[in-house]
Amino acid sequence: MHWSFTAWIQKGIAWNFGQMKMGMGAAWMSDFSIRTMLQQLPYFAHVAEPILNELAQQAVNCTFVPNEMIFLEGEPSAGLWLVENGRIKASKLSPDGQEYILRFFGPGDTFNDLAALDNAPNAASTTSVTAVSAWVMPTAVFTQALQADHELALAVLQSMIGRVRHLVGQVEDLALRPVTARLARFLLEQVADSTLAHPAITRALIANHLATTPESISRSLRVLEKAGTIRFDRHRIIIVKPDILRQQALL
């Protein structure tokens, strides 16, 4: 069973876990070119034209079918990756083989940034959740651009700070919040993050992201429903009381 998020302007937030066609990912950019894509990314919005042209010329397009490994943790880094279409998960495995999903990436996101910055091995494994079109910018090309353009370096620094804060929040969730609170926060985050607005983000993937089980997710949903925070409408979950949901998220 597939779950995804849909925004309802009048009635709040709907979480649809029925069958759906690919939405935003396929139509993110109708007149796509790598140069156009770079200009729309926060990293490269203010990069000088000559540097932008060089980056566009050096980027390589790669496509992946659903559930295909993009790269493995510990392998040498190919560079900075940029998502054109599709959804990707970054994950790590425990010694007993349990997957923990660090983050999902969608159209317009960059990933493997850290390894591209310090030329270290990949910090996590990444896998396509859906069919994916992505671009990889070689590490040497990216670092040369950083050295040449201070605006780019500052944009990357600001992005890294944001990601560190996000990871700190994840650690806090796992250490201090029960499953129901983690799920409540997860629901709230999707209001501002369209990356998960896709039917391929299943209950099992969400459970791996929240370090729990699909069964625990189902139980937590029933708790939220009983509290009147959400209601079910066929294949959708409607968030009807976001303020109470924030309280349940312990925010």
Tell me the per-residue pLDDT of 37-72, one tens digit each, with 9 for 90 and over. Answer: 898 888 888 888 899 888 999 999 999 999 999 999
Same domain, 81 and 119: yes
Name the pLDDT band for 199 (thresholds 50, 70, 90).
Answer: low
Give bridge partners of residue 104 from the DSSP assignment. 89
Do 51 and 108 share a domain, yes or no?
Answer: yes
Q: Which range marks the domain in which residue 187 is found?
A: 178-248
- Asked if residue 77 is part of any domain, the answer here is yes
Where does a domain end: 125, 153, 170? 170
**CATH code at 221?**
1.10.10.10
Domain boundary among 170, 197, 217: 170
Q: Residue 191 above 70 pLDDT? A: no
User: Does any domain span residue 83?
Assistant: yes
Residues 202, 139, single domain; the answer is no
Task: Tell me how many domains the chain contains.
Answer: 2
pLDDT above 90: residue 78: yes
Query: Does 78 reside within a domain?
Result: yes
Q: Is residue 119 part of a domain?
A: yes
Dist CA 224 CA 180 (whole Å): 8
Answer yes or no: is 12 within a domain: no
Euclidean distance between CA atoms 25 and 195, whole angstroms: 9
186 & 95 share domain = no
Place of tokens 């000088």: 48
Judgement on whether residues 166 and 77 belong to the same structural domain of the protein: yes
What pLDDT digit, counting tens, does each position of 156-185 carry?
998 889 888 888 888 887 878 899 999 998
- Per-residue pLDDT tens digits for 85-118: 999 999 999 888 889 999 999 998 999 999 999 8
**CATH code at 67?**
2.60.120.10
236 vs 220 pLDDT, higher one: 220
Comparing CA positions, the residue from 60, 224, 206, 49 lying closest to residue 137 is 60
Task: Give the end of a domain, one of 170, 186, 210.
Answer: 170
Within a domain: residue 217? yes
Q: What are the distances in angstroms from CA 64 to CA 87, 106, 129, 134, 203?
A: 10, 14, 9, 8, 22
Residue 8 forms part of a structural domain: no
Domain identity same for 157 and 187 = no
Strands across the sheet with 132-138, in order?
60-64, 132-138, 79-85, 110-111
Residue 192 has a pLDDT of 61
Residues in the chain: 251
Q: Is 153 exposed, middle or buried (0-12, 13-18, 19+ CB in 10 A)?
A: middle
Q: Are residues 216 and 152 part of one domain?
A: no
Q: Is 55 in the same domain as 91? A: yes
Cβ atoms of 231 and 240 within 8 Å: the answer is yes
Q: Mean of the per-residue pLDDT values for the chain?
A: 81
Judge if 70 and 129 occupy the same domain. Answer: yes
d(CA 37, CA 232): 38
Any domain includes 243: yes
CA 45/CA 21 separation, integer angstroms: 31
